[in-house]
């Protein structure tokens, strides 16, 4: 059984990827256990699995783990991801998203055997895009927030190591994910939680910011296809083609929750709040490359998957899956 390392495996996308790969690979999950990590995201009884609490900046640990397991693939999902938090305090983002990537690259470079690195990045590196335009893999990076700037920096480091040191790496740039295991500070879980608790739904600015949305399992499916069939040195956009502004997302979730819980008395209202600094208006990805080269495309229906996601959160909010403090942070919103 081939061995793969998943960094950040207690987080949102990482835990979903583990749950999909668990019967195909021996999985080494490396997570430094931050506020957004959750042991409840992983089935404690899965086989062919090892967990290590560690930081990807720990050079000795990474060196020893590569030597011990000789993995064929590293999926790098270890990152600070919340834009609002990057505005409040960029330092952690620089350490994880730039220095952490640098340490992984150096560890791979100094290792005696080839390891394929699949680095998970974001559509935010392309910056604000005009109406009717979709970002292409060859487009210049124009990040707007400390978060996207650190992700762009990590991407560029990897590209330099591919060219200079022939590191076998692939970069993926995905649109906004939704689905189970997402930390509650993000937009969709926040909307669901506030509706269920009869609180106002805070939306930045005028609510017209447009994002492309993909169900997390579709993203994971694309990552696996890229790991198995992707071309070394390339980068791939992963998108769904589903673009919605934030007000529409909130309205769709309000409508869905009313139908799901058969309760027409939902009184949560959308509350427009002061916009965050440097807020990009629109992201949209051109995903032609992955469709043509790897024959991959998003299969999920947004409507079906958002309903499943709502039901998942309704059930998890009733248990101890999340801690009370998980719902209190969203810069400028003061939930």
Sheet holding 235-238, edge to edge: 49-53, 26-31, 3-7, 73-76, 116-122, 169-174, 235-238
Is 123 a catalytic site residue?
A: yes
What span, in angstroms and rounded, lies between the C-alpha atoms of 29 and 159? 25
What span, in angstroms and rounded, lies between the C-alpha atoms of 13 and 177? 8
Catalytic residue of the set 55, 124, 217, 280:
124
User: What is the H or E stretch that residue 35 is in?
Assistant: none
Catalytic residue of the set 147, 161, 183, 329:
147
Is 124 a catalytic site residue?
A: yes
What span, in angstroms and rounded, lies between the C-alpha atoms of 226 and 228? 5
DSSP line for 243-309 = EEEHHHHHHHHHHHHHHHTT-TT----EEEEPPPTT--SB--B--HHHHHHH-------HHHHHHHH
Catalytic residue of the set 55, 123, 155, 185:
123
What span, in angstroms and rounded, lies between the C-alpha atoms of 270 and 268? 7
3-state secondary structure at position 191: helix
Is 139 a catalytic site residue?
A: no
DSSP line for 135-186 = B-TTSPP---SHHHHHHHHHHHHHHHHHHHH---EEEEEE-EEESTT--TTS
What span, in angstroms and rounded, lies between the C-alpha atoms of 318 and 168? 44
Whole-angstrom CA distances from 106 to 48, 139, 235 are 27, 27, 20
Q: Which residues are catalytic?
A: 123-124, 147
């Amino acid at each position: 059984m081939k061995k793969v390392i998943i960094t950040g495996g207690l987080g949102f996308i990482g835990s979903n990827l583990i749950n999909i790969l668990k019967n195909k690979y021996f999985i080494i999950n490396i997570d430094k256990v931050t506020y957004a990590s959750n042991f409840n995201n992983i089935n404690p009884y899965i086989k062919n699995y090892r967990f290590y609490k560690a930081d990807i900046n720990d050079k000795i640990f990474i060196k020893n783990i590569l030597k011990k397991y000789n993995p064929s693939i590293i999926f790098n999902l270890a990152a600070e991801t919340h834009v609002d938090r990057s505005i409040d305090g960029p330092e952690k983002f620089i350490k994880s998203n730039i220095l952490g990537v640098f340490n992984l690259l150096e560890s791979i470079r100094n290792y005696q055997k080839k390891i394929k690195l699949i680095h998970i990045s974001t559509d935010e590196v392309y910056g604000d895009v005009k109406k009717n335009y979709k970002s292409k893999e060859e487009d210049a990076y124009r990040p707007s927030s400390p978060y996207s700037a650190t992700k762009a920096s990590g991407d560029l480091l990897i590209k330099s190591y591919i060219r200079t040191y022939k590191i076998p790496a692939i970069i993926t740039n995905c649109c906004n994910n939704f689905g189970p295991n997402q930390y509650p500070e993000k937009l969709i879980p926040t909307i669901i939680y506030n509706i269920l608790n009869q609180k106002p739904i805070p939306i930045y600015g005028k609510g017209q910011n447009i994002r492309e949305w993909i169900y997390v399992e579709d993203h994971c499916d694309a990552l696996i296809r890229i790991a198995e069939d992707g071309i070394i040195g390339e980068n791939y956009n992963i998108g769904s083609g589903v673009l919605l502004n934030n007000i529409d997302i909130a309205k769709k979730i309000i409508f869905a929750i009313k139908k799901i819980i058969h309760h027409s008395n939902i009184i949560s209202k959308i509350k427009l709040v002061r916009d965050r600094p440097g807020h990009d208006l629109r992201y949209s990805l051109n995903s032609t490359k992955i469709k043509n080269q790897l024959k991959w495309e998003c299969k999920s229906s947004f409507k079906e998957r958002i309903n499943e996601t709502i039901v998942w959160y309704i059930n998890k909010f009733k248990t101890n899956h999340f801690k009370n403090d998980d719902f209190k942070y969203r810069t400028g919103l003061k939930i």
